[in-house]
Structure 1
Amino acid sequence: MRDDVDAVILVGGLGTRLRPLTLSAPKPMLPTAGVPFLTHLISRIRSAGIRHVVLGTSFRAEVFEDHFGDGAALDVDLEYVVETEPLGTGGGIRNVADRLRGDTQLVFNGDNLIGVDYAQLLETHRSADADVTLCLHRVADARAYGCVPTDADGRVLAFLEKQPEPVTDQINAGLYVFRRSVIDSIPTGRPVSVERETFPDLLAAGSCVMGHLTAGYWRDFGTPADFVAGSADLVRGIAPSPAVAEPGERLLLPGADVASDAVVDEGTTIGHDASVGPRTLVRGSVVFDGARLGADVVVRNSVIGAGAVIGDGTVLDDVVIGDRARIGAGIELRGGARVWPDATLADGSVRFSADL
């Protein structure tokens, strides 16, 4: 057990890039490989021997406590702190300070899935006697991210904003280890960004800020495409999670009804009481509870909302269908189209749409 370490998970974001999915639930509570995404993160924290978890909530804060309660079902001691106004990443961390018990805190962005070994990350922090340690990840194209160069010993040299020609392929993975005194030093009563304020100020003061480079799995679940791909990776065991009992090509939840000649694969999840009709193909997708897919439907890399109805012969490729939407027969939607909850598209009326 790691009674000396607290886990802090920041889950206060609005999830605007995931709309319309986040109209019905906060992003960390979206069904992902059969359970709320946050379940995978908490399960990994518990498997590392850490039991005290603090959730920093804001948007629809009650949803988290209603589902997880005191955390006993996941064998953790779970506490909640509500952020009543936007405080930024640093402010959100400071906001939970009075619930912390140890001198070391693992701090997670609640929409990232990271396959790093937490014990190794904590050892990097301890052995360097660091004030803060950042988990870093290498990406093929770092232009869309802030970069974090380090020296030969792993000490962080700078925090650089997005650049057309990045000086390193190392990016901030959204997981940190904090010394408790650093958290206590973050200003209160106003928004604070750790990337733009806390970390640069620590470097300027000569504090020890370390980087821990991980070659493991990493994904930001901020967009529908990443949400779908991440869920499929969890189902297939590509992304690590103790909450997935038996990885495979598909996950059928209790009550799911799939026709014998339907094809469901590439990490697809079919939700509770959802149905998939004859000769239908569903690949790399998430079908929420109670959805109905007709005959000869093709669904690839898409999300079908709870209670949605998909007509015969419809093709859905890289789209999001909102809860309870009704999509008529013979419709084709591709390329990032989003259909909002309760919308109705008549048979054959649409070939492509970006937002309906």
Structure 2
Amino acid sequence: MKALVLAGGKGTRLRPLTHTSAKQLVPVANKPVLYYGLEAIRDAGIRECGIVVGDTGAEIRAAVGDGARFGLEVTYIEQPAPLGLAHCVLIAGDFLAGDPFVMYLGDNFLVGGIGGLVEAFTREACDARILLTRVAEPQYYGIAELGPGGEIRALQEKPEHPRSDLAIVGVYAFSPAVHRAVREIRPSARGELEITDAIQWLIENGHTVRSHMVSGYWKDTGRLQDILECNRMVLERVEPGVAGTVDRLSEITGRVVVEPGAVVENSVLRGPVVVGADAKIISSYVGPFTSIGAGCVLQNAEIEYSIVLDGSSVDGVSRIAHSLIGRNVEVSRAAGVSNTHELMVGDHSRIQVKV
């Protein structure tokens, strides 16, 4: 069995961060979301992995390499434009070469792995097995309608009146029958070849399509609140350990990781928290569910429930929360007139200022 990982797309919901970075490489607990997916594929016993890349292909290649660090053999497949998930299957035909495969969306975060899905797919003969989870607002998702035996009868894409609360998670297992399906369908109204249309084609043409429920936790990490929630979930399970330097004036409580080279001086860290390699935390408070990236500097600052990416600094700013700060960003207190805010903000940004 092979794996096909989709790591293209533009990540418009995470702009401006994704103007300069692949959305699949946004870190959760200081590790890119994509890495969790690759590890899940390896843990399911799969070794051959194709990765579909687009505009951010060079960054994905640099981050993943040949896949050896994950126990995988990686082949890169270029998608010239974001033409849909089914189009990814279409252009990966030579790599897949008639083998069954798992398709995994690289910006999905799944706790519990995909071993159960792979085992069920190989145990019971079917042409597709689709991972599902129950959601509170099914009108915002692709939805599956099931028959009495767990077979999928029909799919709806973001329906106004959903016929179930079972959302389609971005992980699928397919037999080679899907290759004909992606050739037979036509682009949707948005100009893409939709994988839901390909699965519907399989159903309507007598192929067996079964469901598999998520056993753990799933999030599509396309929005800020989803990234922060995934960060919280991982940090709740982190094994504490101090490999850096913490002085005697500092206070550490709860699950806290201080990576090698990091320095903590005269500060309070209340876990769960991860402080990246070579970061400096000086006279600051770092509250629960916060990840500080490698090489960051926090001085006279307060932050909680947030993610700070590599190389950024926060100086003299109190009570930052529910925030995602990109790479090599400078956040500092403005001098001069009180209650005056000095901002340099890029396109598609979101700023909330308390007045």
TM range (shorter): 0.7 to 0.9
Distance 1:340 1:282 in 2: 26
SS at 2:104 equivalent: strand
Partner residue, 1:204: 204
Sort the Cα spacing of 1:165 and 1:276 in 2 relative to 1 into closer, same or farther, 3 A. Answer: farther
Partner residue, 1:255: 261
* Structure 2 residue ranges without an equivalent (≥5): 242-253, 336-342, 347-351
- Comparing 255-264 with 223-232, greater Cα deviation is found at 255-264
Residue pair 1:323, 1:340 contacting (<8 A) in 2 also: no
Aligned residues: 326
SS at 1:160 equivalent: strand
- Between Structure 1 and Structure 2, the one with more strand by share is 2
Sort the Cα spacing of 1:193 and 1:246 in 2 relative to 1 into closer, same or farther, 3 A. Answer: farther
Sort the Cα spacing of 1:279 and 1:29 in 2 relative to 1 into closer, same or farther, 3 A. Answer: closer
Residue pair 1:256, 1:271 contacting (<8 A) in 2 also: yes
Q: Deviations along 1:23-54, whole A, 9 cap, x unmatched?
A: 33211122332332222211121122111111
Q: TM-score, normalised by structure 2?
A: 0.82
Identify the match of residue 278 of structure 2 among 245, 264, 273. 273
SS at 1:86 equivalent: coil
Alignment of 1:229-240 (within 5 A): 229-237=229-237
Distance 2:263 2:7 in 1: 33
Partner residue, 2:213: 213
- The letter for the 2-side match of 1:282 is G
Identify the match of residue 30 of structure 2 among 26, 29, 34. 34
Alignment of 1:1-356 (within 5 A): 5-101=1-97, 103-116=99-112, 118-187=114-183, 191-195=192-196, 197-237=197-237, 249-266=255-272, 268-295=273-300, 297-329=301-333, 340=345, 351-352=353-354
- The letter for the 2-side match of 1:205 is N
Q: TM-score, normalised by structure 1?
A: 0.82
- The letter for the 2-side match of 1:156 is I
Partner residue, 1:335: none
Distance 1:246 1:179 in 2: 42
- The letter for the 1-side match of 2:147 is D
**Aligned CA-pair RMSD:** 2.8
Distance 1:7 1:180 in 2: 13
Sort the Cα spacing of 1:286 and 1:224 in 2 relative to 1 into closer, same or farther, 3 A. Answer: farther
Q: Deviations along 1:143-168, whole A, 9 cap, x unmatched?
A: 32221121121110111232455332
Partner residue, 1:344: none
- Comparing 179-188 with 271-280, greater Cα deviation is found at 179-188
Give how far 1:330 is off: 7.9
Q: Deviations along 1:269-321, whole A, 9 cap, x unmatched?
A: 322322222241332123223222122x2212223243332222422122233
Give how far 1:245 is off: 7.2
Give the percent of matched residue pairs that are identical in Structure 1 and Structure 2: 25
- Comparing 25-34 with 117-126, greater Cα deviation is found at 117-126
